[in-house]
């Protein structure tokens, strides 16, 4: 009897102790100061990984490795009327606006983009959720587009503005990468997946491929590209839709 009571008390103690520990962790997760402390790891990860890997290429696979279905994620069929009109016309009226801190702003048709120096690569796409898929991408090298528009000396980031609208406030998706990433040979504005025009589910007519980072960096439905000095004034100020919701801007990990 006494033993039972003691066991019960011990169980209660463990449950209460464990519960207190975990609710403590939840409280810390909502404390700005603690989250800032956790975030001190992000620049460390970025600096160390950049130093260790330099401009090394992501592995390229063979056609035999291509996933039967390249899983689309996030938005897979934007419903807003502007995008629907473009899609209805097979993107014939699509124009990519490239501006911001550049010497020569451009307004490009898909044909213009297809005429830029291109690259085809079979790469592995890693989602922040944990899964991976392998696909063959063909697209214009972003470096070639940068050569065309000539970024000004104070341009630090390339911002991608997208057609897909998110959340209750219907906020457009956006992302940003730095110029080093933008000039990496495998960084593409992809218009083909597995040898066919990019499907709507995977970001038609144009999506970003940044092969050394996670999937959420690879903006789909790109409508405009802007070179900026800082992204502090865009969206929530953290450089991307998911970054504004707590995900790391540097998504190499």
Q: Which parts of this chain interact with another protein (CB under 8 A)?
A: 18-19, 22-23, 25-26, 29, 35, 37-42, 44-45, 49-50, 52-53, 56-59, 61, 65, 67, 69, 71, 124, 126-134, 211-214, 242, 245-248, 252-253
Nearer to another protein, 95 or 124 (CB): 124
Query: Please, what is the end-to-end C-alpha distance for the chain in angstroms?
Result: 54
Rounded to a whole number of angstroms, the minimum distance from the CB of residue 125 to another protein is: 8
- Which of 71, 98, 61, 47 is CA-nearest to residue 253? 47
Nearer to another protein, 14 or 115 (CB): 14
Nearer to another protein, 65 or 192 (CB): 65
Rounded to a whole number of angstroms, the minimum distance from the CB of residue 105 to another protein is: 31
Rounded to a whole number of angstroms, the minimum distance from the CB of residue 47 to another protein is: 12
Question: 85-93: long-range contacts (C-beta < 8 A, 24 or more apart)?
Answer: 86/163, 86/205, 87/200, 87/204, 91/204, 91/205
Task: Supply the angle between the helices 32-39 and 41-53 in degrees, to the nearest 10.
Answer: 10
Rounded to a whole number of angstroms, the minimum distance from the CB of residue 124 to another protein is: 6
CB 222 within 8 A of CB 140: no
Is 36 buried (19+), middle (13-18) or exposed (0-12) by CB count in 10 A? exposed
Nearer to another protein, 11 or 107 (CB): 11
Rounded to a whole number of angstroms, the minimum distance from the CB of residue 214 to another protein is: 6
Distance CA 253, CA 231 (A): 21
Task: Supply the angle between the helices 32-39 and 2-29 in degrees, to the nearest 10.
Answer: 80
Nearer to another protein, 14 or 88 (CB): 14
């Amino acid at each position: 009897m006494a033993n039972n009571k003691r066991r019960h008390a011990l169980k209660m103690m463990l449950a209460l102790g464990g519960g207190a520990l975990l609710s403590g962790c939840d409280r810390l997760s909502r404390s700005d100061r603690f989250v800032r402390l956790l975030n001190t790891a992000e620049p460390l990860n970025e600096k160390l990984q950049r130093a260790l890997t330099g401009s090394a290429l992501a592995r390229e696979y063979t056609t035999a490795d291509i996933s039967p279905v390249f899983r689309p994620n996030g938005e897979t069929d934007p419903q807003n009327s502007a995008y629907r009109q473009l899609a209805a016309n097979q993107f014939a009226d699509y124009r990519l606006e490239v501006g911001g801190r550049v010497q020569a702003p451009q307004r490009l048709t898909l044909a213009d983009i297809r005429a830029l120096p291109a690259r085809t690569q079979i790469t592995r796409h890693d989602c922040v959720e944990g899964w991976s898929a392998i696909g063959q991408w063909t697209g214009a090298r972003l470096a070639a587009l940068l050569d065309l528009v000539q970024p000004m000396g104070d341009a630090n980031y390339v911002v991608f503005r997208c057609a897909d609208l998110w959340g209750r406030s219907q906020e457009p998706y956006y992302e940003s990468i730095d110029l080093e990433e933008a000039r990496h040979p495998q960084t593409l504005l992809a218009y083909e997946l597995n040898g066919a025009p990019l499907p709507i589910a995977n970001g038609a007519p144009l999506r970003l491929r940044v092969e050394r980072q996670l999937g959420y960096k690879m903006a789909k439905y790109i409508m405009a590209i802007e070179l900026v000095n800082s992204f502090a004034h865009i969206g929530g100020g953290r450089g991307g839709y998911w970054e504004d919701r707590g995900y790391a801007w540097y998504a190499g990990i």
